[in-house]
């Protein structure tokens, strides 16, 4: 294992745009589970705090160091170990990226279902936040697509959580405990990913609506029909423009200010045709301006634009992005009211997201405001936004995690007793508070 006393400058800040770089004492680059174990034993014995880091793509400030912590990098744990066709399992190290997994499986009959927009993210990072992505409404989130993994505890012990079995009623389910825990309970080092046979047929369409208020109820109608979409994405025209500017491409022509991007798949071509007709009937009844069937080439273009909306927004201005989730019927309420808050504060905003599962990405842009003024404005905006999310029965994060940025708002959504239970689990597994301290909550 390689240990360096000088930490790269880019790791001392995060995508949360801290005003000052943080401080870290050293960084260790692990190449195996055994390396991780040895590193954690040393840190635990020395009473040092450890921040686990992968591709540094997180959006909640969770890897920002501010108390001379030790960094544990899994970026060099980047090996795809094996493909087990008998159990449809892909064995990978935690530093493997989503792009690597996609490319490795491209010439096989299988795919890994979770599809977050940031393909340079590591699988370990996406498991840490239980990322969802575009295909979650049909295939579930990361949690639903992990068979098992090796995890190193705060004291350096190694355990395996999960199994290749289809059913399990054999004690506590530790697999789901560590997924979404943002590295605060253990360091996931090697994983067994569930693979799915690639459907024979797939089709996408782009539907234009005059305004968002027309589009949102349509999502609810589709989800309550016999149709089972792979993806159901909400795109605003101005949000798409950021990606077009960044990529220097144009989306296929479509009328309207709000778009529904929908993909269906099936092994039965006739069944797929029936579902497409059902969708057309629903969106026409909802007053769609136009329905555009997009071929494979156009679908690749449109999905690439969708994947780069956030990248384009970030390129245009310093941006704060929120990833709340609400029951799907309240998606229009969330967007309309949170947009109104931004407009009242003279803040530019952009919206897009996974309409099929109620997860909307809200972006507010700093533009000409100075840093200190912007920081105060964000606090004011959040003091309106998070109570709204709670009122709608939602949660503060669907797939990016809590990290440092959202932890003060978590009690808006959970009772004191619930928060105390979370803290009790943390204290039981990490009594010295070594792993990612201060993330999700303070002890």
Q: Return the pLDDT at 17.
A: 75
Q: Which of 436, 413, 363 is nearest to 15 (CA)?
A: 363
Distances (CA, A) of 132 to 41, 118, 136, 263, 401: 32, 11, 6, 16, 11
Cβ pair 283, 255 in contact under 8 A: no
CA distance 282 to 220: 10
| 292/15: higher pLDDT | 292
For residue 70, the cross-strand partners are 26, 50
CA distance 326 to 329: 8
Q: Where are the beta strands (DSSP E) in 57-121?
A: 69-73, 80-84, 89-93, 110-111
Instruction: Check pLDDT > 80 for residue 63.
Output: yes
Q: Return the pLDDT at 260.
A: 95
Helices (DSSP H) in 290-353: which residue ranges? 296-307, 309-316, 331-344
Q: Is residue 280 very low, low, confident or very high in pLDDT (cuts 50, 70, 90)? A: very high
Q: Which of 285, 264, 267 is nearest to 275 (CA)?
A: 264
Q: Return the pLDDT at 171.
A: 94
Instruction: Check pLDDT > 90 for residue 119.
Output: yes
CA distance 190 to 438: 25
Q: Return the pLDDT at 67.
A: 80
Instruction: Check pLDDT > 80 for residue 166.
Output: yes
188-227 residue pLDDT tens: 999 999 999 999 999 999 999 998 878 877 888 999 999 9
Task: Give the mean pLDDT of the chain.
Answer: 95
Q: Which of 224, 247, 226 is nearest to 302 (CA)?
A: 247
| 433/219: higher pLDDT | 433
CA distance 339 to 320: 14
Residues 6+ apart with CB under 8 A from 6: none
What order do you get walking across the sheet with 2-4 strand by strand?
2-4, 24-29, 69-73, 50-53
Instruction: Check pLDDT > 80 for residue 299.
Output: yes
Q: Return the pLDDT at 215.
A: 80
DSSP category for residue 226: S
For residue 89, the cross-strand partners are 84, 194
For residue 236, the cross-strand partners are 258
Angle at 117 between CA 343 and CA 402, to 5 degrees: 65
Cβ pair 335, 294 in contact under 8 A: no
For residue 262, the cross-strand partners are 205, 232
Q: Which of 23, 18, 21, 22 is nearest to 375 (CA)?
A: 18
Q: Is residue 103 very low, low, confident or very high in pLDDT (cuts 50, 70, 90)? A: very high
Strands 2-4 and 24-29: antiparallel
DSSP 124-166: HHHHHHT--BTTHHHH--GGGGEEEEEEE-TTS-EEEEE-S-S
Helices (DSSP H) in 170-261: which residue ranges? 174-178, 212-223, 237-247
For residue 161, the cross-strand partners are 149
CA distance 91 to 104: 12
Instruction: Check pLDDT > 80 for residue 394.
Output: yes
DSSP category for residue 346: T
Q: Return the pLDDT at 115.
A: 93
Share of residues in the chain with pLDDT > 70 (%): 100
Q: Beta-carbon neighbour count of residue 373 at 10 Å?
A: 11
Q: Residue 353 belongs to what H/E stretch? A: strand 348-354
Distances (CA, A) of 256 to 210, 300, 319: 5, 21, 25
What average pLDDT does the segment 302-327 reach? 94
Identify the three-state secondary structure at position 44.
helix
Q: Return the pLDDT at 305.
A: 95
Share of residues in the chain with pLDDT > 90 (%): 91
Q: Return the pLDDT at 16.
A: 78
For each of the domains in the chain, give its residue range(s) and CATH number, in order of start. Answer: 2-73 (3.30.43.10), 80-197 (3.30.465.10), 201-309 (3.30.70.2190), 317-401+408-412 (3.30.70.2740)
């Amino acid at each position: 294992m390689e240990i360096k006393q000088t930490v790269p400058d880019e790791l001392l800040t995060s995508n949360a745009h801290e005003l000052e770089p943080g401080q870290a004492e050293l960084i260790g680059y692990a190449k195996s589970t055994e390396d991780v174990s040895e590193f954690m034993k040393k840190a635990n014995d020395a009473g040092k705090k450890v921040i686990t880091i992968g591709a540094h793509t997180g959006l909640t400030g969770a890897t920002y160091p501010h108390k001379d912590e030790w960094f544990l990098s899994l970026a060099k744990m980047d090996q795809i170990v094996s493909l087990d066709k008998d159990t449809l399992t892909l064995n990978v190290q935690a530093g493997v990226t989503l792009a690597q997994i996609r490319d490795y499986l491209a010439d096989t009959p299988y795919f890994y279902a979770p599809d977050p927009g940031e393909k340079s993210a590591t699988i370990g990072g996406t498991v840490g936040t239980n990322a969802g992505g575009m295909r979650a409404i049909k295939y579930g989130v990361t949690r639903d697509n992990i068979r098992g993994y090796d995890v190193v505890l705060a004291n350096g012990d190694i355990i395996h959580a999960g199994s290749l079995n289809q059913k399990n009623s054999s004690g506590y389910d530790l697999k789901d405990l560590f997924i979404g825990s943002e590295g605060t309970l253990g360091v996931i080092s090697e994983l067994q990913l569930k693979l799915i046979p690639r459907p024979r047929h797939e089709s996408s369409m782009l539907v234009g609506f005059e305004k968002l208020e027309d589009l949102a109820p349509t999502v609810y109608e589709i989800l309550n029909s016999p149709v089972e979409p792979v993806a159901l994405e909400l795109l605003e025209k101005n949000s798409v423009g950021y990606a077009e500017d960044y990529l220097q491409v144009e989306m296929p022509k479509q009328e309207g200010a709000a778009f529904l991007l929908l993909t269906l798949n099936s092994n039965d071509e006739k069944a797929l045709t029936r579902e497409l007709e059902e969708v057309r009937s629903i969106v026409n009844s909802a007053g769609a301006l136009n329905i555009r069937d997009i071929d494979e080439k156009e679908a690749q273009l449109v999905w690439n634009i969708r994947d780069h909306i956030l990248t384009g927004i970030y390129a245009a201005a310093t941006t704060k992005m929120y990833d709340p989730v609400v029951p799907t019927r309240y998606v229009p309420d969330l967007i309309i009211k949170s947009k109104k808050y931004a407009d009242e504060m003279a803040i530019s905003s952009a919206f897009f997201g996974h309409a099929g599962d109620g997860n909307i990405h809200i972006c507010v842009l700093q533009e000409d405001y100075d840093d200190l003024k912007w920081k105060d404005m964000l606090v004011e905006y959040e003091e309106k936004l998070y109570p709204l999310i709670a009122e709608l029965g939602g949660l503060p994060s669907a797939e990016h995690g809590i990290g440092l940025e959202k932890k003060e708002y978590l009690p808006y959504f959970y009772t004191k007793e619930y928060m105390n239970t979370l803290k009790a689990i943390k204290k039981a597994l990490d009594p010295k508070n070594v792993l990612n301290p201060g993330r999700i909550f303070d002890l």
